[in-house]
Amino acid sequence: MTPYDPDNVFAKILRGDLPCHKVHEDADCLAFMDIMPRAPGHTLVIPKAPARTILDIVPASLTSLALAVQRVAKGVKAGMKADGLTIQQFNEPAGGQVVFHIHFHIIPRWNGQPLGPHASQMAPGDQLAAHAASIRAALG
């Protein structure tokens, strides 16, 4: 198994070396806006504990991560006034993983609107900030 890289982009966000539009944070997890969203409000949820994939995350961290994904998903759906959600999690390059720190994608969906392409276009910062604010407000 490939070892965890402590210099991956999500590790840098966790250390504060890179900025993010934060949606939710607790002792174990961080949720923030995807800078290349497949739909408005596309949010990522990551554990604070280092883990490359679902295959190497410790069970306690996975439990905290799953609970955070559920909580944030409720906020994304309500805050973005979405008709539904797509929740994705990829493992290793063959599985579609691009950043090698386990993470879940929460993507709001609206009837009749297809998903945009993966990792294709950066969203404006003011748009990401507005979506993050809507989701945070829905989380309470």
Q: In angstroms, rounded to a whole number, what is the distance separating the alpha carbons of residues 22 and 37?
A: 15
Q: Which of 107, 119, 99, 39 is nearest to 72 (CA)?
A: 107
Q: Which of 21, 103, 105, 131 is catalytic?
A: 103
Q: Which two tokens stand for residue 133?
A: 């604010």
What DSSP element (H or E) covers 54? none
Tokens of 73: 């998903």
Active site residue 103: yes
Residue type, 137: A
Catalytic (active-site) positions: 103
